[in-house]
Chains A and B, each alone.
Chain A
Amino acid sequence: MASKLPKSPLEHSAGGAGAAAESPGAPPRGLLRWLLTTNHKEIGTLYLVFSLSMFFIGGIFALVVRLELFQPGLQFVEPEFFNQMTTLHGLIMVFAAVMPAFTGLANWMIPLQIGAPDMALPRLNNFSFWLLPVAFTLLLATLLMPGGGPNFGWTFYAPLSTTYAPPSTTFFILGMHLAGISSILGAINIIATILNLRAPGMRMMDMPLFVWTWLITAFLLIAVMPVLAGVITMMLLDINFGTSFFNAAGGGDPVLFQHLFWFFGHPEVYIMILPAFGIVSAIIPTFARKPLFGYASMVYATASIAILSFLVWAHHMFVVGLPLVAELFFMYTTMLIAVPTGVKVFNWITTLFQGSISFETPMLFALAFVVLFTIGGFSGLMLAIAPADFQYHDTYFVVAHFHYVLVPGAIFSIMAAVYYWLPKWTGHYPSERLGRWHFWLSVIGVNLTFFPMHFSGLAGMPRRIPDYALQFADFNLVSSLGAFLFGFSQLLFVVVIVKCVRGGEKAPAKAWEGAQDLEWSVPSPAPLHTFETPPHVTPQPHP
């Protein structure tokens, strides 16, 4: 599972800034170099490659799910294994694909965007990466254990995940702890870097929005990952040490688990979307050749989301039996938070208005993000209406909502970021032709997969079922075809990356004509050590 590391993309002319390597001897070569690296660029690459391989593993699980749901009846897998596939698909995509990808982008770009030589704590940076392969090898190993892997959904509600869980659940908990610690250490590193290592002249207010959103995300991580650690520790105590936090027999309460999980869960979904806002807010102004509209509003709204996201968690629990006052409270707060979040879309669209727009691949993905994320936002608005949620909850309508927000949301923004910054990382432009193919196939695949789910959900198809009544057959057939199209079109993405690493059209330091931020002042490909001497940043009015 060391995944296919491409020929090291960072072979730079030794003549780059400062050939003297830190350790007295020549820097270690080959695998050892990747194991011991403390350089934020190499660690960024490690995160991204790990995330891409996990994206494919999670994708395979999704294709197994869609294969079984291709048509009524059980043809390929047993319900027990189907539940393991849905659970691990959720866990791998959330914790192993999306979060590490954003962390990788943060590792690569934050030091470059704020003029810092490296992250504040380089060794901690290396450690927090290498925790991830260990954590997820352990999580994937549970599939081979007697009793099978986790089969209780990525939200692992008690008592299904405690009293009625397979014996491998303890390893699931250990794996999640390691992944949690990795995220926490990463967040500490990023906060310390942003707050202390900015180049002189680059004040907090001049930081690009990607750095701002990541700072807010890091604060959310610090506040919320310990709660997840707390919940899974309580699960561990319930399973192995006979306590009854979530076991009604001993005075516990399964609904307490849901409160704790979603108190972590909702800020977690903001953790997965705020960096995407940062990326899109960097890409759209570049290709519209026009400054971002309402930069101040974006910064302030993102900051307020950091706090408001803690007040809405129980809209995931409208049908669990909350009292009326609680349901009303969470309906109102969910509606309130929808405003600062949704309004951002208007800022991006007004940035486009009267711009001068060109449609390279990063811009295509960013525009698809705006359109499809907004559709996910609308279904989110519908779900906020508590009485209607009684009909939507735990159906495929919810599955359609969060996939629209996450796949064209988080994953398209990651792909846009990769296409946008590949020239800086590798010194070559990614191939536009293949990029376009990858884009259009992905957009068609995403919509073909998830749009029919709105209808199967509304018509009454519950979530996480391995087989369904005949009235949902057509929708599932289309979804499954779309899933396979989307899944295989991601191989194109790998082809584009590998080709771009090996060769392709040379890219100048400022690869995109409209680009403004600091990273474009560094030569492409970015040498291993940049900003050894802090750059001179003139505090000009916001670009």
Chain B
Amino acid sequence: MSPVQRTVSRTLLVLVAMFAFAFALVPLYDVFCRVTGLNGKVDTTAQALVHEGVDESRYVTVQLVTRSGAGLPWRLEVEQRQLRMHPGQTVEVGFTFVNQGAAEQWGRAVPSVTPSQANRHLRKLSCFCFEEQRLAAGERLALPLVFQLDRDLPAEIHTVTLVYTLYPVASGEIARRAPEAQGGEA
């Protein structure tokens, strides 16, 4: 193996490594987001309740905002747009999906939290945003959001806004089937 061939093969190795590194950045970015709460990315799996008592001394306002993206004739209603809670407390809020379209369709609510520092302190016990939903034409589906804010939520955070945006899901992308037999006026 001549020195030129040695150099070339080593360089090719680095090339392949860097190309793989570019693709490895995608999952790495997700991990990095979850750890630092960068860009409001939120957990996509249910988490266990932590019993650490409620911090009665201060209130945190939680705003809930729902929006609909293009291409999905659905509406997401929420019982109350704004609520006050103590850090450490567990809260349940009722959401209702309504399919205003004329056909059955898959859709998903993509969550986003701001301020991003609050993201690490938000623990979701059950959320409709964990998987895609299937609604028949005109169907209404009520699903709860149960979440808890840590006691050690930084003091300077007084307001946390949780935004859900509805997006259509192409049938090919269905990751996990929504639990069956939940249709009708649940």
A–B contact (CB under 8 angstroms) = yes
Interface residues, chain A, with chain B CB atoms under 8 Å away: 120-121, 184, 187-188, 191-192, 195-197, 222-224, 226-227, 229-231, 234, 242, 244-245, 248-251, 253, 255-256, 259-260, 263, 321-326
Contacts of A187 in B (CB 8 A): 11
Residue pair A227, B26 in contact (C-beta under 8 Å): no
Of all chain B residues, which has the CB nearest A231? B22
**Inter-chain contact A323/B38, CB cutoff 8 Å:** yes
Give the dominant DSSP class at A's interface: helix
Closest to A326 in B: B38
Query: Given A249-B69, A253-B41, A322-B38, do A226 and B15 touch, yes or no (CB 8 Å)?
Result: yes
Tell whether, in the assembled complex, residue B165 and residue A188 are in contact, meaning their CB atoms are under 8 Å apart: no
Tell me the B1-27 residues at the A interface (CB within 8 Å).
2-4, 7-8, 11-12, 14-16, 18-19, 21-23, 25-26
User: Given A222-B14, A323-B117: A248 and B4 within 8 A (CB)?
Assistant: no
- Indicate which residue in A192, A253, A326 contacts B7 across the interface (CB closer than 8 Å): A192
Let me know if A259 and B4 touch, CB within 8 A. no
Contact indicator A253/B39 (Cβ below 8 Å): yes
Given A195-B7, A242-B170, A253-B29, check contact A227 B21 (CB 8 Å): yes
B116 part of interface (Cβ distance < 8 Å) = yes
Given A196-B3, A256-B29, A325-B36, residue A227 in contact with residue B22 (CB < 8 A): yes
Task: List the B side residues contacting A245 at CB < 8 Å.
Answer: 26
- Contact between A226 and B167, CB atoms less than 8 A apart: no
Tell me if B173 is interfacial: C-beta within 8 Å of chain A: yes
Known: A191-B7, A259-B29, A323-B117. A248 touches B19 (CB 8 A): no
19 contacts between A and B (CB under 8 A): A120-B7, A188-B12, A192-B8, A195-B3, A196-B4, A224-B18, A226-B18, A226-B19, A229-B19, A230-B22, A231-B22, A234-B26, A242-B172, A248-B110, A253-B39, A255-B39, A263-B25, A323-B37, A326-B38
Whether A121 pairs with B25 at a CB distance below 8 angstroms is no
Q: Which A residues are CB-close (under 8 A) to B22? A: 226-227, 229-231, 260
B138 CB–A CB distance under 8 Å: no
Instruction: Tell me whether A323 and B116 are in contact (CB under 8 A).
Output: yes
Residues on the B chain within 8 Å of A323, using CB: 36-38, 116-117
Given A191-B11, A250-B167, A259-B25, 10 more pairs with CB closer than 8 A: A120-B7, A188-B8, A188-B11, A192-B4, A192-B11, A222-B15, A227-B22, A230-B22, A249-B168, A326-B38
- In the assembly, what is the distance between CA of A260 and CA of B110, in Å? 22
A95 to chain B, nearest CB (A): 18
- Take A250-B173, A255-B39 as given contacts and tell me if A184 and B15 are in contact as well, using a CB distance cutoff of 8 Å: yes
Least distance between A5 CB and chain B CB atoms (Å): 30
- Chain A residues near B15: list those with CB within 8 A: 184, 222, 226
State how many residues of chain B have any CB contact under 8 Å with chain A.
37
Please name all residues of chain B whose beta carbon is closer than 8 Å to the beta carbon of A120 when the two chains form the complex.
4, 7-8
A321 to chain B: closest CB distance in Å? 6
A260 CB → nearest B CB, Å: 6
A242 to B172: give the CA distance in the assembly, Å: 9
Interchain pairs with CB closer than 8 A, number = 94
Q: A256-B29, A259-B25 are in contact. Are A121 and B4 (CB under 8 A)?
A: yes
Q: For B21, what are the chain A residues with a Cβ–Cβ distance below 8 Å?
A: 226-227
CA distance A121 to B7 in the complex (A): 12
**Measured CA separation A120–B19 after assembly (Å):** 24
Given A223-B14, A226-B22, A231-B22, does the pair A251, B4 have CB atoms closer than 8 Å? no
Q: Which chain B residue shows the least CB distance to A249?
A: B167
Query: How far apart are A124's CB and chain B's nearest CB, in angstroms?
Result: 9
Contact partner of A196 (CB less than 8 A), chosen from B7, B25, B44, is B7
State A324–B22 Cα separation when bound (angstroms). Answer: 25
CB proximity of B81 to chain A, nearest CB, Å:
22
Across-interface contacts of A224 in B (CB, < 8 A): 18
A196 → B minimal CB distance (Å) = 4
B44 to chain A minimum Cβ distance, whole angstroms, is: 8
Which residue of the partner chain A has the closest CB to B19? Answer: A226
Chain B residue nearest to A163 (CB atoms) is B70
Specify the chain B residue showing the minimal Cβ separation from A322. B38
- Which residue from chain B places its CB closest to the CB of A120 in the assembled complex? B4
* Complexed CA–CA distance, A248 and B116 (Å): 17
Contacts of A227 in B (CB 8 A): 18-19, 21-22
Q: A242-B170, A323-B36 are in contact. Are A222 and B18 (CB under 8 A)?
A: yes
Residue of A nearest to B38 (CB): A323
Q: How distant is the Cα of A197 from the Cα of B116 in the complex, in angstroms?
A: 54
Q: Is the CB of B7 within 8 A of A230?
A: no
B38 touches A251 (CB 8 A): no
Contact A321 B14 (CB under 8 A): no
Q: By the criterion CB–CB under 8 Å, are A121 and B11 in contact?
A: no
Q: Which residue of the partner chain, among B8, B33, B37, B172, contacts A121 with CB atoms under 8 Å?
A: B8
Chain A proximity mask over B83-127: 1 for CB below 8 Å, otherwise 0: 000000000000000000000000010100000110000000000
Partner of A260, one of B7, B25, B39, B167: B25
Contacts of A188 in B (CB 8 A): 8, 11-12
Q: Is B165 a contact partner of A248 (Cβ separation < 8 A)? A: yes
Q: Tell me the minimal C-beta distance from A198 to chain B in angstroms.
A: 11
The docked-state distance in angstroms from the alpha carbon of A184 to that of B18 is 12
Q: CB distance B173 to A230 under 8 Å?
A: no
A248 and B29 contacting across the interface, CB-CB below 8 Å: no
Q: Which residue of A lies closest to B115 (CB)?
A: A323
